[in-house]
Amino acid sequence: MKHRKLDNNELDRPDLQALKFIERHPVHVVLDNIRSLNNIGSVFRTADAFLAAHIHLCGFTATPPHRDIHKTALGATESVPWTHHQQTRQAIELLKSRGVKVWAVEQAEGATLLQDWTTDQNQAVAFVFGNEVKGVAQDIVDHCDGVLEIPQHGLKHSLNISVSAGMVLWEAFKRYGL
């Protein structure tokens, strides 16, 4: 069987105006002091692909508009709602006050492995992704409801934040229904 690559106009995607009326998955992304503008843009693009509810940019994480964010976001900064918070803890407290269960994505004692994570489809969740060098700060981990760990078996002890976000958002997308 041969496969013909689809043109973009055959993908039946909503335009920016129609997207405002589409129900998003109850998934929030929290970026805790992310340095790389390209990582920020990649997370926006991934959040767009999986219809994430909101991105919370925290601390010194840069905000749109910025050409280096745009380079990887490719317009997703217009299609995904976002907010900037001076402190990551502010974002977590806001989310929790709205009934959102907050998960740090980190390697920690007692963490739930990503493949074992379950959620109620009616429960909104937020995933906190940390700084490229230091990860999610311990005081932020302490304020989360739980920790998700992506199993790794190689020499390196971490994944790029945009790769981690893609894996976690895909798992959430599967659990909330395709």
Q: Distances from the Cα of 80 to the Cαs of 85, 143, 166, in angstroms?
A: 16, 25, 15
* 78-82, 107-111, 174-178, range with the lowest pLDDT: 174-178
| Tens-digit pLDDT profile for residues 86-103 | 999 999 999 999 999 999
Q: pLDDT band at 178, cuts 50/70/90?
A: low
Mean of pLDDT values over 110-122? 94
> With b meaning 16 or more CB within 10 Å and e meaning fewer, what string describes 88-108?
bbebbeebeeeebbbbbbbbb
pLDDT the model gives residue 19? 82
Give the model's pLDDT for residue 75: 92
Q: What is the DSSP letter of 131?
A: B
Instruction: Report the distance separating Cα 143 and Cα 53, nearest Å.
Output: 21
Average pLDDT of the chain is 95
Per residue in 42-93, pLDDT tens?
999 999 999 999 999 999 999 999 999 999 999 999 999 999 999 999 999 9
What is the pLDDT, as a whole number, of residue 159?
Answer: 94
* Domains detected in the chain: 22-176 (3.40.1280.10)
Name, in order, each residue with C-beta under 8 angstroms of 176's C-beta and a sequence gap of 6 or more. 25, 26, 27, 119, 121
